[in-house]
């Protein structure tokens, strides 16, 4: 069905969908859209896959520079950037690879950056019940770069701070210092 609708859009744009360069475009666009919205078919429980562990660790856990690719729900145009996710464990820790998987699950949906940021933070808060969660996301929105205001160097930065990251300035400052760009350390 998506293929037929894409073909119709191309026709409405005055394109010949039979020409060589476009003859498989509706199929490719449908396949791309299914992939880019595949996060709707995923569930938090399946993504985290019981990778919760009781561990006596009370310092910050941070996974930074997580690549993010999503579609702006207002224009269906991509936005992309980096997410930095931290938490202060209570009694449980999460397998480190699960944090980027969680980011990807929510980013593979039609999104606005603000919601994406809070969904990640709130989910970690619910699942881990940590002393705090922090998420900062920086992204380039092609809907701002390619159309509209056409500001090629603009980036959107959003944050969600819960628990100690919201209540304790020193904890927030430590997180912000740790996510600052540095030369390749590893």
Q: Would you write out the chain's pLDDT as a tens digit for each of its 186 residues?
A: 999 999 999 999 999 999 999 999 999 999 999 999 999 999 999 999 889 999 999 999 999 999 999 999 999 999 999 999 999 999 999 999 999 999 999 999 999 999 999 999 999 999 999 999 999 999 999 988 888 777 777 899 999 999 999 999 999 999 999 999 887 666
Active-site residue among 8, 27, 55, 74? 74
The count of domains in the chain is: 2
Choice among 3, 15, 125, 143 that is catalytic: 143
Q: Note whether 66 and 154 are same-domain residues.
A: yes
Is 113 found in the same domain as 25?
no
Instruction: Specify if 183 maps to a domain.
Output: no
| Catalytic site includes residue 113 | yes
- Beta strand 156-163 with 132-141 is antiparallel
Identify whether residues 75 and 133 lie together within a single domain: yes
Tell whether 133 and 80 lie within a shared domain.
yes
Q: Based on the domain organization, do 86 and 172 belong to the same domain?
A: yes
**84 in a structural domain:** yes
- The answer to whether the beta carbons of residues 171 and 164 sit under 8 Å apart is yes
Query: Domain containing 84 — which CATH number?
Result: 3.30.1130.10
| Secondary structure (DSSP) of 70-113 | EEETTTS-EEEEEEEEEEE-SSEEE-TTHHHHHHHHHHSSEE-H
Active-site hit among 23, 27, 73, 126? 73
Do residues 107 and 171 share a domain?
yes
Residue located via tokens 């429980």: 45
Question: CA–CA separation, 66 vs 101, rounded Å?
Answer: 10
Domain assignment of residue 186, yes or no: no
Model pTM score: 0.93
Instruction: Say yes or no: 7 and 73 in one domain.
Output: no
**8 is in which domain, residue-wise?**
2-36
- Are 14 and 81 found together in one domain? no
Q: In the annotation, is 73 catalytic?
A: yes
84 is catalytic: no
Residue keyed to tokens 């938490």: 87
The C-alpha atoms of residue 140 and residue 129 are separated, in whole angstroms, by: 31
């Amino acid at each position: 069905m998506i293929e037929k609708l894409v073909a119709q859009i191309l026709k409405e744009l005055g394109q010949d969908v039979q020409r060589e360069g476009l003859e498989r475009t509706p199929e490719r666009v449908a396949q791309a859209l299914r992939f880019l919205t595949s996060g709707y078919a995923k569930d938090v429980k399946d993504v985290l896959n019981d990778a919760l562990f009781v561990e006596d660790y009370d310092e910050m856990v941070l996974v930074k520079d997580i690549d993010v690719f999503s579609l702006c729900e207002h224009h269906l145009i991509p936005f992309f950037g980096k997410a930095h996710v931290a938490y202060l464990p209570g009694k449980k820790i999460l397998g480190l690879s699960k944090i980027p998987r969680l980011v990807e699950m929510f980013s593979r949906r039609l999104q606005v950056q603000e919601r994406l940021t809070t969904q990640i933070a709130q989910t970690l808060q619910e699942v881990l019940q940590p002393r705090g969660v922090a998420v900062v996301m920086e992204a380039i929105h092609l809907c701002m770069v390619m159309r509209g205001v056409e500001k090629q160097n603009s980036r959107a930065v959003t944050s969600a701070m819960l628990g100690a990251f919201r209540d304790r300035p020193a904890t927030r400052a430590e997180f912000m210092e740790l996510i600052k760009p540095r030369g390749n350390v590893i």
